[in-house]
Structure 1
Amino acid sequence: MLTQNQPKVVLIAPNAGTKMGGEAIKAYQYFRWLLDQGIDAVLVTHGRNRQELELRLPAERVLWVEETPLQAFLWHSRILRPLVSVYFHRTAARLTKDLDRATTLLHYICPISPVTLRFPPKGYRVVMGPLNGNLVYPPAFRYRAGRKQRVQESLYGLTQRFFGALFGDKRRAETVLVSGGERTRAALRLAGVAEARMVDVLDAGVSTALIGLDPARHDGRNPHFVALGRFDAYKAYDLTIKAVAAADDDICVTIFGDGYMRASLEELATSLGVAERVSFPGWLAHEQLSELRRYRGFVFPTLAEANGIVIQEAMALGLPVLTLRWGGPVLLADDNSALFIEPDGEDAVVAELAKAMNLLAADPVLATRIGAAANARAQAAFTWDSVAESWSAHYSPKQ
């Protein structure tokens, strides 16, 4: 909602657009919403997003953090790669340092990690978030976390306290938007953030175009399921493929997306004899998400999903979501609007996933009931207007 004292908003996000995953989509859609509301807003983002954003946004509304040899060196270094984020935010601070501090607000929307350092220049009002982190693998899947990840987790509390004391970027923010519930609040408290500065919000919204579509119709038997996302280890697509192998012979899944694990996932499907029932067509354009309505359900057994924008989108389309009772999905759906599987270990999850796919494929009434509840929940809570307004409400100066 616009007010007479509406500040100039500088939205800061390393990635923004429709082709680089959930965080980039969120940043782009929110910035687009700000402009549509008539808010004086500028986006600070990395130059790698230029090709798409120059076609989608007014040139005068974007400041670019350009690629440099130093940044490229940091990115290609296994040891120094974490400094890429530091480089981006230091450069963003230089780009914004000459704006009018009395009338400008800096909103650091991405990344969502409550650990990442932002380095806002002094004198500006600052909003951060939604932040969503401090999430580990379920106990029965801890063996899947790599050694580096386990070491990082063991040092998490110490790191937060150290960064909070030395840099204090989150502690000094006027408002910190929190979308990860108590686990994220706990991480922010370690960094010295006062409870009074934390505000609980949803992590993202669903586009008006998508949420306005008629939900999926579930008639007769439909053995076709779908998944979507980057092929990272924590997404656990291997569990989906193994569940297909354990399910009825006609159960199949289309996995949209790409990533470093693609070859190993294709090899797994072949070794299990289900290569013809598991397809990998690459990324699905965001404008084509409506096509997902032809599937019976959305399979997403992620092990460490902080939120799950794809879950929100699937729910908006009226697709039953099959996911683990862990992390972000628990904050988005309930037992009426999704099928939750307990994260009790690989064998148990594979068996329950296969059972759930068999059940949904054969029962259009059940699929319709869950899909309708999911769609109703999305209509009530996930619209970009309601989510964005809950964020921008904190742009007004504190009384």
Structure 2
Amino acid sequence: MKLLVVSTNAAQTMGGEAMKALQYMQQLLADGRDATLITHERCRDALAGELPADRVIYVRDSAMMKTCWRTPGLARFVNGFFHVEVARICRGFDPAQVVIHYLCPISPVEQRFPPKGYRYVIGPLSGNIFYPQGFQHLAEKSLRLQQRIYRPLQKALGLVSRQFVRADTVLVSGYVRTREALGWAGCPEARMRDVWDAGLSDDLFARPRVCPAENPAHFVWIGRMVPYKGADLAIRALSQAPQEARLTLYGDGPQRAALEALVRDLGLSERVTFAGWLAHEDLSQELGQYRALLFPSLKEANGIIVQECMAIGLPVVPLRWGGPLGLATDEEALFVEAHDPAQVVRDLAAAIVELTQQPERAEALSKAARIKAEAAFPWAQVAQSWYAAALAAHDAHDQGAKRSAGG
């Protein structure tokens, strides 16, 4: 069986979804699978040296894609035309020999236009994630509109598009919220299979577990500096925490100037460090020096940084909301409720106090998280769970063909 892996982006430098696509392909090839990646031309330079050239097919911008890029308000339709080009490419392969795996994007709303007569798998999908009720004021008008029309839109798309009905398997990593969205779109429950959203490379497990109790009471936040990532909540929480507590923020983005001003206004300039972007290859070494990760992200579909910190044994303080809620239990992470800003800041501060004054609590979280990560998140296991769905689709096709020939 040949597997055609479809992802709009694939690279180490284009965000979590793109990194996931690249690492999945690398694991497939390491396992000796016959796999080819289909991705956009913009990824060519970033993929140089990452994958064999004959294992990647690049999609160039079609005339319609170029039109969408140039026309204000139409950029959201580029992915649809990307998938039209993907279907054309896939038709060049024998449908009896290939299975198509639509990997990224992760949204159940994405329209993929699979070519008729081909077996295909979609996912893992992790959509239908919005702000908690007490944080709705942070959502832009477009996101509030999207939330209002999400269910009727899914139902309408389900009537028009048969992509989920025709799929052999739909991989789900967004738990109940994503299963609900898929159900609105007409996806049969029997087609859904729960899997992890991403795997982790072996080098994270190769290093010794972090011993947070031996580290100073220094906390870390990492991400793109945009409102939903909650960096301001972490900073405000630090202002209510003991003086010995420190906070380092890795990342950058449009909110950085406002965050720097907030630090000055709160008199925290001596306790907060803006460290810029952290190269992924340096992640385990750099994060190993902290007491815990503060992760008050307000609409995180998964949270691969949570998985990575669990793998090295760095305790995580996430919100009880979205993706992190499915990655860890209360024994493996120190969860904070997500009711409203004042409550989150207050409880984040309490978590900082607890982990500062009770290093043994940090150590217990570290050990439990490492055990969970080692058991669940290695790429070899995650990739196999995804590949098994494609293999089952191919085997079902073969068995059907044999029955037809026998008849």
Query: What is the TM-score when the length of structure 1 is the normalising length?
Result: 0.94
Match of 1:36 in 2: 30
Residue 109 of structure 1 aligns to a residue in which SS?
strand
C-alpha displacement of 1:97: 2.0
Aligned position for 1:3: none
Deviation at 1:72, TM superposition (A): 5.4
Separation in 2, partners of 1:251, 1:48: 43
User: In structure 2, do the counterparts of structure 1 residues 93 and 269 end up closer, same or farther at CA, with 3 Å as the change threshold?
Assistant: farther
Out of 312-321 and 389-398, give the one that drifted further.
389-398
In the alignment, what sits opposite 2:138? 144
The amino acid that maps onto 1:160 is: Q
Cα offset for 1:249? 2.2
C-alpha distance in structure 1 between counterparts of 2:88 and 2:318, whole Å: 42
User: Which of residues 317, 324, 333 in structure 1 aligns to 2:328?
Assistant: 333
- Cα distance change of structure 1 residues 324 and 16 upon mapping to structure 2, 3 Å threshold: same
1:309 is the counterpart of 2:304: yes
Alignment-derived partner of residue 188 in structure 1 = 182
Distance 2:124 2:271 in 1: 38
Return the offset for 1:257: 2.2
Q: In structure 2, what residue type is equivalent to 1:244?
A: L
Distance in 2 separating the partners of 1:64 and 1:194? 32
Name the % identity.
Answer: 47
Q: Which moved further from structure 2: 165-174 or 275-284?
A: 275-284
> C-alpha distance in 2, partners of 1:345/1:138?
8
For the aligned residues, what is the CA RMSD?
Answer: 1.7
Structure 1 residues 164-203: Cα deviation after superposition (integer angstroms, max 9, x where no partner) = 2112222211110011112111111111111111111111
Within 5 Å, which residues of 2 pair with 1:48-87? 48-67=42-61, 71=65, 74-75=68-69, 77-87=71-81
Report Cα offsets for 1:283-318 as digits up to 9, x if no partner. 222211112111110110111111111100001110
User: 3-state SS of the aligned residue for 2:313?
Assistant: coil
- Mean alpha-carbon deviation: is it higher for 175-184 or for 48-57? 48-57
**CA-to-aligned-CA distance 1:136-177 (integer Å, 9 cap, x gap):** 211111222222111111111111111121122222111100
Find the counterpart in structure 1 of residue 154 from structure 2.
160
Alpha-carbon distance, 1:212 to partner:
2.3
Distance 1:236 1:74, change over 3 A: farther
The residue that corresponds to 1:394 in the other structure is 389
SS at match of 2:5: strand
| Offset of residue 280 of structure 1 | 2.7
Matched, 1:199 2:193: yes
Partner secondary structure for residue 49 of structure 2: helix
Query: How many aligned positions are there?
Result: 393
Give the C-alpha shift of residue 223 in structure 1. 1.9
- Does 1:174 find its partner at 2:134? no
CA distance in 1, matches of 2:112, 2:225: 27
Which consecutive residues of structure 2, in runs of 5 or more, have no partner in the other structure? Answer: 400-407
Give the Å deviation of 1:33: 0.6
TM-superposed deviation, 1:226: 1.3
Q: Which amino acid aligns with 1:32?
A: Q
Confirm or deny: 8 A CA contact 2:212 2:292 kept in the other structure.
Answer: no
Cα distance between partner residues in 2 of 1:12 and 1:265: 37
